[in-house]
Amino acid sequence: MADGVAVARRAGDGPGPVAVLAGFARALRAAGVAADHHRTQSFLAALGHLDAADGRDVYWAGRLTLCAGPDDLPRYDRCFAAYFSASSAVRRVRGTTVSVTRPVATPYGGGEQEPAGEPGAPPATASEIEVLRHRDVARMSEAERREAHRLLALLRGTRQPRRSRRYRPSPHGGATDARRTVREILRHGGAPARLRRRVRGTRPRRVVMLVDVSGSMAAYADTLLRFAHALVRAEPRATEVFSVGTRLTRITPALRHRDPGLAMDACSAAIPDWSGGTRLGEEVRALLRLPDPRGAIVVIASDGWERGPADLLGAQMARLSRLARRVVWVNPHKGDPAYRPMTAGIRAALPYVTDFVAGHSLAAYEALAALLAGDRPVRRAGTARKEGADA
Amino acid sequence: MLRRTTTISGIDAPARLAELLDHHDYLADEGVTTAAYLALKMGRPLFLEGEAGVGKTELAKTLAAILDAPLIRLQCHEGLDAAQAMYDWDFPRQLLHLKAAEAAGVADVAALEGEIYDRRFLIARPLLRALETQPSVLLVDEIDRADDEFEAFLLEVLSDFTISVPEIGTISAATPPVVVLTSNRTREVHDALKRRCLYHWLEHPGFDREVAILRRRLPGCAERLAADVARAAGRMREAGLLKPPGVAESLDWTEALLTLGAAELDPALAAATLGAVLKHREDQETVRAMGLLTPGGGRG
């Protein structure tokens, strides 16, 4: 087939077929597929069982060994077609939209992130921090914002644990652990020994956070992503973060960088729809179909300027509230005392929201972190709204 | 006449495996065939992901039938531990043995200890059973439901096909079992585990393949009915439902229609049997509102 000819042709003027195939894996890595050394070895081993001169066999051997998820498949197809430049033989495998990553300026600093705590800026004093804590992020100066980001990076993003199904030994009380007790008896040659006990362990409760990166949220998106970063750093295996705008993008891997600046860079590279509109209804629906929100705390950070139909958002929120442990809606505008939830989107969603909180200042983010950690939030009379199903 | 069962060495090309799968009524496309062929030949676990009902579990069952090997299934859930997945000691029998030895007046403590931790007191759970049964097909079903701790157990077993029991030593498989892992992708499985596997994303079948599957699995099904069901199921998958129907659901639906004696999908029958294919009230309403049940409906 044409592809096989392409492999041979590339091998002909280059260093040989193995180098050509390894080069393909390298091209894939550049395209964002995690085709590491181990996987490349598997790729070559797989081709040993197939016909390396047949393009279809090369295609499948590579797809089965080098890809790790459905997101990789469109990238793989594009890369395969480009590398072996015989696209006719490769049909498109998935009908998903292909996301094009383009560098887009973050709301501040044009995508260049200075590391937090720059040598030039002296740390703020206690009273300055107190003032800063209550200032609206959107109205901060560049220096203040840097300081706020530094403080945000220090935030503890832990959360209330949930009971696990896994048992652990307990020195005091709990159910009898028959296995360990009998084992103990055996160790003592059959003489009755002390009863061993076990209790259920705990695990961090999963948090799924949706960060609205549409145009109307531009002033807060960066800070919200930094808050999400603090959550991911505290519990990397129990946190999922998605950016929402015109589409749902999983940005958890980008936020796994320890350094907040690098994590923000990775985010802006990963999010294809900065400063577009919001179609939250469709995205909550997408969320309900992929990562399971069952039992999780779902945090939605958005101003609710919904472009899609409000009743769709309402229906999806209803379903979400039935699956999730708790639905927290963070609205940056709620910090304004004159704010009333008037937009159609937020009015449709509110009945299904467990906690409706502000998200404009450091103090608000601290309160949110405390809410997730299981403390009750400090509520001012008349501002907190609690309706709908509380799991 | 093709032999219905064979050994791995008897399968010498993906095309041959496709024939065998076909004989066992599993109509596989090129991707599935190549994936399964490489899994058999390379001795690698096959990691299958895809929406519910696309035939992940069915593939493992069919491979077991082809190889005439027992299918050893491990259904994953949170809190699954080594004692449930790998092995456990038969404590009551160990105690009985100890008492019997005591009654017989055995004085050699060291020898007695050795006897207690003998292989015959070890209960093999699915993973150990798969290593000790040859040939066998091990199905680790819905790995995404298990937790991280379990993935760590699984890593050791799947990379070396050995299980170490501290009291006995290492038990390893002479020839590794064929391993199929499935995931519905409700969470990301750790990359360390995926790296050891061949990864395949299963899609819903296209129209022609689905018609062929329905007719093959339900011999009483006429071409007309199969085509109607496949067309309706295909449209439902594009309608953005909470739970798009898989092949398993279209099979159920067709079976329900056949039971009612249907020769084609008419709107009244479709509405009456909708519960066989869509299991959410919201989905049923969406489909009714879109007019997907009337013949030719929802096309524009």
Chain A residues whose CB is inside 8 A of the B285 CB are none
What tokens were used for B42? 């390379």
The alpha carbon of residue A61 is apart from the nearest alpha carbon of chain B, in Å, by 8
Residue B182 pairs in a beta bridge with B48
Asked if A32 and A69 touch (Cβ cutoff 8 Å), the reply is no
Spatial distance between the Cα atoms of B126 and A119, rounded to a whole number of angstroms: 59
B79 contacts in chain A (CB < 8 Å): 164-167
Instruction: Measure CB to CB from residue B187 to each of A42, A190, A292 and give the nearest one.
Output: A292
DSSP element (H, E) containing B256: helix B247-259
Of all residues in chain A, the one with the smallest CA distance to B188 is A291
Separation CA A219–CA A197 (nearest Å): 54
> Is the sign of the CA dihedral A179, A180, A183, A188 positive or negative?
negative
Residue of A nearest to B46 (CA): A64
The amino acid present at B73, given as its one-letter code, is R
Q: Which of A261, A233, A258, A250 is nearest to A159 (CA)?
A: A233
| Residues of B whose CB is below 8 A from A294 | 186
Say if residue A271's pLDDT is above 90.
no
Chain B residues inside the 8 Å CB shell of A179: 83, 88-89, 91
pLDDT tens digits, B23-34: 999 999 999 999
ipTM over 0.95: no
| 3-state secondary structure at position A304 | coil
Give the closest-approach CA distance of B253 to chain A in angstroms.
Answer: 22
- Best B32, B33, B37, B38 residue to mutate vs chain A (most A CBs within 10 Å): B38
Residues of A in contact with B34 (CB under 8 A): 50, 57, 60-61, 64
Q: How far apart, in whole angstroms, are the C-alpha atoms of residue A263 and residue B282?
A: 39
Q: What average pLDDT score do residues B35-63 get?
A: 93
Query: pLDDT per residue over B193-241, tens digit each?
Result: 999 999 999 999 999 999 999 999 999 899 999 999 999 999 999 887 8
Report whether pLDDT(A278) > 80.
Answer: no
* Beta-carbon count within 10 A of A354 CB: 21
Which of B188, B200, B203, B285 should one mutate to test binding to chain A, selecting the residue with the greatest count of A CBs within 10 A? B188
Do residue B41 and residue A285 have CB atoms under 8 angstroms apart? no
pLDDT tier at A263 (50, 70, 90 boundaries)?
A: confident
Interval B156-169 mean pLDDT: 88
Which has the higher per-residue pLDDT, B165 or B300?
B165
Nearest to A64 among B34, B240, B242 (CB): B34
**Residues A92-137: tens digit of each pLDDT:** 333 334 444 444 433 333 334 444 444 444 555 666 667 777 778 7
A39 near B CB under 8 A: yes
Sign of torsion over alpha carbons A278, A282, A285, A287: negative
Q: Which domains does chain A have, with CATH numbers?
A: 2-89 (no CATH), 117-153 (no CATH), 164-203 (no CATH), 207-372 (3.40.50.410)
Whether the per-residue pLDDT at A88 is higher than 60: the answer is: no
The residue-averaged pLDDT of A74-84 equals: 87
User: Hey, which bits of B101-197 come out as E strands?
Assistant: 122-124, 137-141, 162-165, 169-172, 178-183
Q: Do B102 and A190 touch (CB under 8 A)?
A: yes
pLDDT for A248: 80
Please give the residue of chain A at the shortest CA–CA distance from B80.
A166
Residue-level pLDDT at B4: 56
pLDDT at A126: 63
How far is A250 from chain B, CA to nearest CA, in Å?
A: 11
Mean pLDDT for all residues in chain A:
76
Q: Which residue of B has its CA nearest to A208?
A: B187
Residue bearing the bigger pLDDT, A46 or A107: A46
- How far is the C-alpha of B59 from the C-alpha of B48, rounded, in Å? 10
Ramachandran angles phi, psi of B4, nearest 5°: -80, -25
Look at B14 and A50 and tell me if their CB atoms are within 8 Å.
yes
Structure confidence by residue, pLDDT tens digits, B99-130: 888 888 877 777 877 888 888 999 999 999 99
CA within 13 Å, CB half, A317: 28
- Are B178 and B138 spatial neighbours (Cβ–Cβ below 8 Å)? yes
Q: At what angle do helices B109-116 and B91-104 cross, to 10 degrees?
A: 150
Over residues A159-178, the pLDDT tens digits come to: 777 888 788 888 887 888 88
- Each residue's pLDDT tens digit, A321-344: 888 888 999 988 887 777 887 788
In sequence order, which residues have a C-beta less than 8 Å from that of residue A152 and are 6 or more positions away?
A223, A226, A227, A230, A260, A362, A365
Contact B81 A288 (CB under 8 A): no
Torsion of CA A218, A219, A221, A222, to 10 degrees: 120
Q: How far is B181 from chain A (nearest CA, A)?
A: 14
Q: Kind and range of the H or E element at A164?
A: strand A161-170
Superfamily for domain range B8-77+134-202: P-loop containing nucleotide triphosphate hydrolases (3.40.50.300)
Pick from B256, B287, B286, B285: nearest CA to B273: B256
Residues in chain B: 300
A56 touches chain B (CB under 8 A): yes
Enter the tokens of residue A1.
Answer: 């087939």
pLDDT bucket at B73, cuts 50 / 70 / 90: very high
A9 pLDDT higher than 70: no
| pLDDT computed for residue B294 by the predictor | 66
